[in-house]
């Protein structure tokens, strides 16, 4: 008759940093400095904070949706299509608000700095996943374009006041884009990776310099360098 083996309680082996994916929108769940203040409908209307947040969230979704699908349509039709879509009852906007937002979105599409990102070969809502700097990175960029000499990616920041200078970009956003850059550099080591933040309210496109992103690359056991 056999006997049960001698069991000895032992602690589990500590899991390495790869066990917890790094989400670039919240690199390591730490405080990463203040974000730009949000533009609230409370500035223009007497509504409750909860409804203001709901309105801002809905507006952000409208902006992202139009910037995703409008580039597929002829340039001459984009503003009309945007206005028609925004004046639907489901959008929850007045005619004047719809016209203003449509013009703002079209202004983003016409920015010379974003011409590659709105070209036919560019990709919208591109998901990214991989390992860089000893971290599993899982995320999504709003637009991405792979060119023979470079890879260009951008993230939209809607409903936020833009910082006065690129150097004042919030750390959270820098670490977000540095994580994407590190992942893409591993996929295309022979090409420059260009990261752009698009502040849709202005609109303004900020190309983030490598010297700024280099301070926030993902590292083993942490969200990025400090």
* pTM, full prediction: 0.81
* Distances, alpha carbon 57 to alpha carbons 35, 41, 181, in Å: 16, 11, 27
| Contacting residues for 188 by C-beta, under 8 A, at least 6 apart | 146, 151
Q: Please determine, for residue 32, whether its predicted confidence score (pLDDT) is greater than 60.
A: no
**Average of per-residue pLDDT across 33-62:** 68
Alpha-carbon distance of 181 to 170, in angstroms, equals 17
Looking at residue 199, its pLDDT comes to 96
* Distances, alpha carbon 153 to alpha carbons 38, 88, 165, 224, in Å: 23, 31, 20, 19
Looking at residue 29, its pLDDT comes to 43
pLDDT tier for residue 1 given thresholds of 50, 70 and 90: low
Angle between helices 95-109 and 49-69 (to 10 degrees): 50
- Model confidence over 61-83: pLDDT tens digits? 999 999 999 999 999 999 999 99
Average of per-residue pLDDT values in the chain: 86
> What CATH number does domain 19-24+113-216 carry, 3.30.70.20, 3.40.50.300, 3.10.150.10, 3.90.320.10?
3.90.320.10
Alpha-carbon distance of 118 to 83, in angstroms, equals 19
Looking at residue 225, its pLDDT comes to 43
- Model confidence over 132-162: pLDDT tens digits? 988 889 999 999 999 999 999 999 998 778 9
3-state secondary structure of 186: helix
Domain boundaries of the chain, sorted by first residue? 19-24+113-216, 41-111
Dihedral sign (CA 69, 161, 47, 33): positive
List 55's β-bridge partners, or say none. none
Alpha-carbon distance of 172 to 35, in angstroms, equals 8
Structure tokens at 148: 């023979």
Of 48-62, 104-118, 127-141, which one has max mean pLDDT? 104-118
130: left (phi over 0), alpha (psi -120 to 50) or beta: left
């Amino acid at each position: 008759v056999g006997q049960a083996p001698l069991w000895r309680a032992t602690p589990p082996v500590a899991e390495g940093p790869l066990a917890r994916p790094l989400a670039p929108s919240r690199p390591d769940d730490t405080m990463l400095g203040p974000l730009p203040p949000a533009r609230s409908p409370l500035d223009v209307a007497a509504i409750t904070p909860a409804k203001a947040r709901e309105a801002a969230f809905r507006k952000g979704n409208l902006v992202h949706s139009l910037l995703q699908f409008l580039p597929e349509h002829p340039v001459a039709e984009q503003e009309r299509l945007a206005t028609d879509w925004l004046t639907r009852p489901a959008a929850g906007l007045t005619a004047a608000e719809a016209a203003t937002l449509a013009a703002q979105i079209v202004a983003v599409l016409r920015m010379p700095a974003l011409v590659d990102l709105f070209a036919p070969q560019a990709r919208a809502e591109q998901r990214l996943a991989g390992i860089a700097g000893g971290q599993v990175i899982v995320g999504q960029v709003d637009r991405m374009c792979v060119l023979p000499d470079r890879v260009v990616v951008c993230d939209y920041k809607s409903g936020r006041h833009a910082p006065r200078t690129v150097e004042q970009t919030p750390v959270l956003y820098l670490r977000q884009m540095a994580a994407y850059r590190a992942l893409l550099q591993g996929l295309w080591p022979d090409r420059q990776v260009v990261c752009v933040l698009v502040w849709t309210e202005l609109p303004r496109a900020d190309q983030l310099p490598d010297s700024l992103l280099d301070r926030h690359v993902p590292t083993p056991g942490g969200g990025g360098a400090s």
